[in-house]
Chain A
């Protein structure tokens, strides 16, 4: 007996929702950042699952690019965190409201 596609999708949905909740309840910017990585990975899982079940390589190729973008995002995002910490002495989400201006 094989594992049906729905199982993979359900797992993916669960991981995505956890990631969303994590983004909303955590205040450490780096943890928020990790939650976003989790959400990206849940989507990757969906793509790989569809790719395998449909026999289409496009899904896996897209995952490859998502990984590359995630790497780029990680580099720039963490650099921003460092710059922010240097200026504000904090990485607390709740203390950063400079978007108001």
Chain B
């Protein structure tokens, strides 16, 4: 039934990619290209909904199905097929990817209007959706890796979409390369993990691996190695410490790309992967602890950088990193479904924030510096309202979607006994509320700081309709995860529970339910978020001299944050420069020129020398050839006679 249509949902975007990619230049009509691109993704969403309904109708223990499409690789013990695992987790991811993806496709029709690369843009977007769906639907690690690499490739293509534009110190192509290379480092970790899995379990299929893994003892060294290697991959794809540096630069791409890839979907791949392998992580408590610490540290660290950035997309980029940190924190403390819940709500409000930012940038004619905006709420009423709703959601204000997911994460962190991580998360939440409302205030409120000649105008309806839909989801998306303490059923957690059951069994204990404490913590985090908002409005709307004074009072701290802790520079110094110099001096000048080129040229010279010698025989005169031939005949007969 609807299960069997899941492969269609995956391959339709591929068809869209092929049509737009091969024929887009000839089609030319933006409406048609955009319609093809959006419809293929939208169809995937409808199939996802149908599948969800069918799964809801099935008993809880019969909701996992494998849909085989075709054999792919089969060599010895290794076999990986194009087979999709439809279960509670993958269907949620399918809905997020295609749903948010569809809205962003529609938005992009308006945003990319008039761009000469319009068809190319939609082809890349569709290819991205295809890769991402393979990633989340795969039933084995290799197919997941295909999608994993595919989204990395599409990310590269889309960040460098305007490959000739200036971006910071170079061009957007440099940012694209940075993203690709940093991702490759993570992918290397993922590959190692995959090799280890194959050598340990003799299979790459999720069900086979996880069934065997359940028999392992907790803390087995090989599981620790596997999970840590996979987590290196996750830090690359999901922009966690230490491989987060590519994500802020990824803002060089067009804004719908930032929304789709670098906020709503692709960066959640790492979260999804860790959640998918929850049983492996549950059996490696050390790795789980590493995940939690990296997540908590990233959440706080990225939030502090976000405080002082002036580029509208940069602020959002750092907030993405920070929010991804929360998701990993949730996974690390064993609250897998809370992590996926945050993936979902974050997809809604972060896509909305980016699309809203895109509308602002569109209106301001490619201006991205929030110090040169202000007072836009009169001119962009829809964008303003939806943006504020999203900001409230990300800040974690009741009853917006972000409140439930973030609060769930913090509560689970605290209740599982990770007090320090909880404190970090709480500070992060305060900073989130602060920088988001700093952004809102500087962009939309106060008096205008832009040049007089400009006339910002509201975006066309293809752009505003997705904004409104996403705003509704950002406000109401939390209903699927209202905790029992607030009278909800926490539907999502129950829904995902069978997937995480084996892992949760291994982690048993620690989850003590204490409603009073939960209410207190809820109040605390709400209060923290509200105070963040209040402080932001106070500093940037009423007493505008305060930020300057603070910055002047704490010059070193300010400079540290402004320079983003100089992480890029440190990587340059420690990794990039030695690599470049070493490559140039040793590998290029010595090995390549001195050894390889020399050997190649020597081969050529030897052949040329033989050629020169042999050429003397070829005079072109038939008589000479006959003479040589005769010499051969006489010699052979003579040799035979001599025998």
Contact = CB atoms under 8 A, between A and B. Distances in A.
Interface of A: 20, 23-24, 27, 93-94, 96-101
Contacts of B641: none
Contacts of B619: 97, 100
A24 B621 contact: no
Contacts of B625: 99
A93 B622 contact: yes
A14 to B, nearest CB: 16
A98 B622 CA distance: 9
A96 B622 contact: yes
Nearest to A100: B620
Nearest to A101: B620
A24 B623 contact: yes
B626 interface: yes
Given A93-B623, A98-B620, A100-B619, 15 more contacts: A24-B623, A24-B626, A24-B630, A27-B623, A93-B621, A94-B621, A94-B623, A96-B621, A96-B622, A97-B619, A97-B621, A99-B620, A99-B621, A99-B622, A101-B620
B640 interface: no
Contacts of B618: 99-100
A9 to B, nearest CB: 15
Nearest to A97: B620
12 contacts: A23-B623, A24-B626, A24-B630, A93-B621, A94-B623, A97-B619, A98-B620, A99-B618, A99-B620, A100-B618, A100-B619, A100-B620
Contacts of B621: 93-94, 96-97, 99
Interface residues of B, number: 10
Nearest to A20: B630
Interface of B: 618-623, 625-627, 630
Contacts of B620: 97-101
Nearest to B633: A20
Nearest to B618: A100
A10 to B, nearest CB: 16
Contacts of A93: 621-623
A39 B627 CA distance: 16
A27 B624 CA distance: 12
A96 B622 CA distance: 8
A42 to B, nearest CB: 15
A20 B622 CA distance: 14
Nearest to A94: B621
Nearest to B619: A97
Contacts of A24: 623, 626-627, 630
- From B618, B619, B623, B630, residue with most partner A Cβ within 10 Å: B623
A85 to B, nearest CB: 16
A23 B618 CA distance: 19
Contacts of A94: 621, 623
Nearest to A21: B630
A58 to B, nearest CB: 25
Contacts of A96: 621-622
A100 B630 CA distance: 20
Nearest to B615: A100
A81 to B, nearest CB: 13
A92 to B, nearest CB: 11
A7 B16 CA distance: 88
B615 to A, nearest CB: 10
